[in-house]
Amino acid sequence: MNNNALHTVEVQIREQVCAYCESNNVPGFVAGVYHAGEQIVVAHGTANVATGAPMLEDTGFLFGSVTKVMTTTLVLQQVERGVLDLDTPVVKYLPEFALTIPGAADKVLVRHLISHTNGIDADLFFPDAKGRDALKIYVEGLASSCGSLFEPGEQVSYSNGGMIVAGRLLEVVTGIPFPELLEHDLYIPVGMQDSSTSAEQAILRSTAVGHFNDPETMAAKPTAMFTLPDTWGPAGGTPIGTIADLLAFGRTHLAGGVSPCGARVLSTESTALMQQVSFDMASPNVPPIGMGWVLYPFGDTTVLAMSGASPGGVSILCVVPEHDLVFTAYGNISGAIMLQDQILQRLLNEHLGVQTPTLITESDPDVDLTPYVGTYRSNQLRVDVSIVDGQLEERTTYEPADESQRRIFTEFAGGTASAPPQRYVPIRPGLFAPAGYPHEAFDGYLRLLLVSYHHVRDGQARFRNGGGRLTRRA
């Protein structure tokens, strides 16, 4: 892509964003593309419908789980400095780390925390604490509230808990609170000059808020909760910044760890290690995992990606090393992820010429559904699976441990604690697609909508994987 081609991309994205937002009730959207020395940023709509503030090119937003790649970068910095070792048990550095299953935490290595292979069952564990002891309180709470889904290194399950433990680990070995470490060791050398680590900092500049559709009027309403608690900082609860800042961070990983302003943030070897496969579930809905990055195969091209949900918003960061490209975007309502996926695929297919084969070509109505029927659980989440009209039907319910957990989760989810029943059609044994979707819908980032079942023994699957997250048969 030369400069003229990137200008054409800018015009196309602007038209695509405008059309999608108007027809799908997305209040505001901002996106950026870097390619081969040039970059563009496109902004559209409203950052906050309550105030009417416009979404600008430099409007800040919650990074959400894109932060996990930053936390991983910080961990590998400490590995390079000889402070941490990836193959050492976490408890050597963090003796207070424990789970409800005796001895389970002792098996978790540092590398398991940042490769989503730790098995910590804490995906919806929301201790409500603020300030410099927040991560300490989170880790203390694991010992009495959270168990283990599987043996470390045995499987992959997207892990908020692992990243938060990694954040606390960083605090203990450096003696610096995680927000300060993020700012000093990452924001400054990368050149993320408009990034912050709290709502108190973000309010001093233009910042978007998330929205939810009112169930009665379907009008977009601002979220009642701007950020998750401080306890979720390293997993993506509190860091905030701009498209330009995320492009700079993505470019740092494109350039072998050297930031656009010339600072060495990470070694070439560590940057490459993050991009190598740590674990592969060999299932279309669960892309191979690196360290921090999820490694999405688009044909023969690998896209390093991470998306980030925040209360009423969603961000995405994609790095394509083979084509020297970074794409990042934020929309201030959850449905914006569909637009992000469409822009990503258009960039790959039309502008980079990447040939993307169809991931799912046909379904198989003859698959035996009985091994998958049952109840699956993880931290405060229950999924009931039954057979209805020759399809699997899943009913997902959040079961809060206490009132504080209920309040935080329902505000994060826009006021609901359960999802409508969802039907699934069999693609092959162990793999299912949500009914009513065309097969091509799963070619891109939204392959995460597929559901897989694993470890069938004695006629029953032991695990269900939806959205990269495992639940275990009750």
Sign of torsion over alpha carbons 282, 285, 288, 291? negative
Instruction: List Cβ neighbours of 335 (8 Å cut-off, separation of 6 or more).
Output: 24, 25, 26
Give the whole-angstrom CA distance, residue 68 versus residue 198: 16
- Cα angle, residue 169 at apex, residues 260 and 60 outer, rounded to 5°: 40
Distance spanning both ends of the chain, measured CA to CA: 52
| 451-457 vs 469-473, strand pairing mode | unpaired
Give the whole-angstrom CA distance, residue 65 versus residue 238: 10
Task: Tell me the two tokens of residue 446.
Answer: 């939204």
Catalytic residue among 65, 206, 259, 270: 65
Is 270 among the catalytic positions?
no
Q: Are 443 and 431 in contact (CB under 8 A)?
A: no
Q: What letter does residue 421 receive in the DSSP assignment?
A: P
Burial 141-180 (b: 16+ CB within 10 A, else e): bbeebbbbbbebbebbbbbbbbbbbbbbbbbbebebbbbe
H or E stretch covering 139: helix 134-145
Q: Are 470 and 377 in contact (CB under 8 A)?
A: no
Task: Tell me the two tokens of residue 236.
Answer: 């993506």
Amino acid at position 307, single letter: S
Burial 426-453 (b: 16+ CB within 10 A, else e): bbebbbbbbeeeeeebbbbbbbbbbbbb
Catalytic positions, written as ranges = 65
